[in-house]
A = this chain, B = another copy of it.
Amino acid sequence: MEIALVGIGKIAVDQHVPAIAASDEWSLAATVSRQGAVEGVTGYTNFDQMLAERPDIRVVSLCVPPGPRFDYAVAALRAGRHVMLEKPPGATLAECYQLEALARENRVALFATWHSREAAGVAQAKEWLIGKRLRRLSVTWREDVHRWHPGQAWIWEPAGMGVFDPGINALSIVTEILPDPIHLTSADLDIPSNCQTPIGARLNFYHPHGAEVTADFDWRQTGDQIWTIDVETDQGTLSLLNGGATVVIDGQQIDMAGTNTLSGEYPRLYRRMAELVRQGGVDVDLSPMIHVTDALALGRRTVVDPFFD
Contacts and interface: CB of A to CB of B under 8 A. Distances in A.
A70 B296 CA distance: 20
Given A181-B101, A296-B296, A297-B297, A94 B158 contact: no
Between A94, A95, A181, the greatest number of chain B beta carbons within 10 A of the residue's beta carbon is seen for: A94
A97 B93 CA distance: 14
A183 to B, nearest CB: 4
A70 to B, nearest CB: 7
A146 interface: no
Contact of A183 (B98, B158, B187, B298): B98
Interface stretch (A22-30, A34-42, A44-52, A286-294): A286-294
B301 A183 contact: no
B296 A298 contact: yes
Interface string A265-309: 000000000000000000000010011111011111100000000
A290 B158 contact: no
A159 B290 contact: no
A79 interface: no
Contact of A159 (B92, B158, B159, B298): B298
Interface residues of A, number: 31
Nearest to A301: B196
Interface string A218-240: 00000000000000000000000
B98 A181 contact: yes
A184 interface: yes
Contacts of A72: none
A183 B287 CA distance: 18
Interface string A144-182: 000000000000001100000000000000000000011
Given A158-B186, A186-B158, A181 B297 contact: no
A284 B23 CA distance: 43
Contact of A287 (B94, B158, B182): B94
Interface in A27-79: 70
B299 A94 contact: no
A77 to B, nearest CB: 12
A290 B95 contact: no
Given A92-B294, A293-B294, 7 more contacts: A70-B183, A92-B298, A94-B184, A94-B290, A97-B290, A158-B186, A297-B297
Nearest 7 A/B pairs, CB to CB: A94-B183, A296-B297, A92-B294, A95-B183, A297-B297, A293-B297, A158-B298
